[in-house]
Amino acid sequence: MDVSTGDIDAPHSMGTTIIGVTYNGGVVLGADSRTSTGMYVANRASDKITKLTDNVYLCRSGSAADSQIVSDYVRYFLHQHTIQLGQPSTVKVAANLVRLLSYNNKNMLQTGLIIGGWDKYEGGKIYGIPLGGTILEQPFAIGGSGSSYLYGFFDQAWKEGMTQEEAEQLVVKAVSLAIARDGASGGVVRTVTINSEGVTRKFYPCDKLPLWHEELEPQNSLLDILSAGIPDPMVS
C-alpha cells in the first residue's frame, strides 16, 4: 500500500481490493491481504478491515499510514461519543467523522475508505469515502486498485435483499476475481459480517478460493504435476 520506493516516477499503486455490501439484515465487508511497496510485497497477510466500534468497521486502501491514522482518530472520537450518548454510535456518525478528517486534510492524505456497520435505527449500512472526502451511502461499495476490474461484475451480479450466505459468497468471489487480475492485490480473502447478532470474521486462504481461467491448482511440487501422468499442462 505504500509509495513505490524503486522508480520515483512510477505511478502510485493503491494495491488493494476492498468491498462492502449490504444484505437483508446487515453488511459484509471484504478485502484482500497484499501490502505492496512497488514490486515488493511487504505483507502478504495483512488485515485491511479495522474495527472502529463494536458495530462499525472500516476497510482501508491507499496509503497504509494515512488510513491507519484516520482510523485511530475516528476510533478515539467515536469512543468519546459513545460515552456521552450512553449508547452505541450509529454507522452514519462514524462515516461522517471519517469524512470530515478525509475532506479537511485532503491535501495531505491519500486514502480511500469504506465504512460498514449495523445500528438499531437504520440496520446495515455501507458508506464509501473515496480520495477527496466525498461521503456516499451506497447499497454496495468497492475500492482500491483491484476494484477497477469489478465494476462490470457488480453491475451484473448485485441484487437487492440477498441472504447472508449469498452476500458472503458474492464478496469472496469478487475479491478473488480482482486478485486474479490485479497485480497489486493478492494473498488471502478476509471478510467481516456485521448484523444485529454481532460481528463474525472469516478467512479464506488461497486454496479455498475459486480458480479462474488459466490459473493452475496449487501444487506442492512440480514433480507431482509430472508424475500425475496427465498431458503436460505447460504445453498447450
Partner 1 sequence: MSSIGTGYDLSVTTFSPDGRVFQIEYAAKAVDNSGTVVGIKCKDGIVLGVEKLITSKMMLPGSNRRIHAVHRHSGMAVAGLAADGRQIVARAKSEATNYESVYGEPIPVKELAERVASYVHLCTLYWWLRPFGSGVILGGYDRDGPQLYMVEPSGVSYRYFGAAIGKGRQAAKTEIEKLKLSEMTCRQGVIEVAKIIYGVHDEAKDKAFELEMSWVCDESNRQHQKVNNEISQDLLYIHAKS
The amino acid sitting at 100 is L
73 binds partner 1 (CB under 8 A): no
Instruction: For residue 83, state whether it binds partner 1 (rule: CB under 8 A).
Output: no
Which of 65-73, 91-99, 164-172, 228-236 is the region at the interface with partner 1 (rule: CB under 8 A)?
A: 91-99
Residue 90: active-site member: no
Among candidate residues 5, 16, 111, 163, the one labeled active-site is 16
Contact call for residue 121 and partner 1 (CB under 8 A): yes
Q: Residues near 218 by Cβ (< 8 Å), separated by ≥ 6?
A: 206, 207
Query: How big is the chain, counted in residues?
Result: 236
With a CB cutoff of 8 Å and minimum separation 6, the contacts of 209 are 172, 176, 179, 189
d(CA 204, CA 68): 24
x/- map, 167-186, partner 1, by CB under 8 A: --------------------
User: Binding to partner 1 by residue 95, rule CB under 8 A?
Assistant: yes
In contact, 26 and 20? CB cutoff 8 Å: no
Among 48, 60, 99, 173, binds partner 1 (CB under 8 A): 99
Neighbour tally for 26: CB within 10 Å: 24
CB 118 within 8 A of CB 91: yes
**Contact flag: residue 236 with partner 1 (CB under 8 A):** no
According to CB under 8 A, which one of 34, 48, 92, 190 is a site residue for partner 1?
A: 92
Q: Give the active site residues.
A: 16
User: Which residues are at the interface with partner 1 (CB under 8 A)?
Assistant: 81, 84-86, 90, 92-93, 95-97, 99-100, 121
